[in-house]
Structure 1
Amino acid sequence: MDHYFRRPDGQVVRRSRAVADGEISERPPPAPAGAVEISAEEGIAAFAAAAEGVEQVRSADRAAANEARCGVYDEAIDLGFSEAAASAISGYRPA
């Protein structure tokens, strides 16, 4: 069973009970220094929000990288390269 804790800086951490010789400890995991235990629902929601934030950043990074590749492609075309060469140079694949 997982236990969720909120640290003083707002970070949420998940800890599980210890397993020894295939047996799950009856004692809950110790809280990180200064942290307070929160409900599983709150912890799961915090992890889901963090995962969504990471995906938004990754999506923005992918879009920026594609835009940069498109710019290099356009510059190569403007310089007289063929579409195939511009695509190979830039990594951009026009639709």
Structure 2
Amino acid sequence: MESTSSDHRGCGGVDLISHLGDDVLVHVLGYLPTTADVACACLVSRLWRRLWPRVSSLLLASFEKNQERADRFVAFVNHVLAARAAHPDTARVEQIVISLFL
């Protein structure tokens, strides 16, 4: 019996995660520890890229050793908040934590 790492016999070779509803995927993404992790996960699929603004909890944290990198983090936070404000399906933010450690 041959087996490969991409063996999908249990589900008939069907991509089951793509059949989950957006609400379920957003709920799962909400368990990721940081907003950066959510953004990275949403890069997995073109269909997921539109989901990150619907996650209701934002954790933006950075440990920076110099002012230039700290300024880039602040710009990133501003970009995330502006992108959420501009997106029509943006969820209400229920929790937001922004931490910058120098």
Same fold, TM exceeding 0.5? no
Flag the structure with larger Rg. 1
TM-score after normalising by structure 2: 0.24
Answer 1 or 2: which has greater strand percent.
Answer: 1
TM-score after normalising by structure 1: 0.26
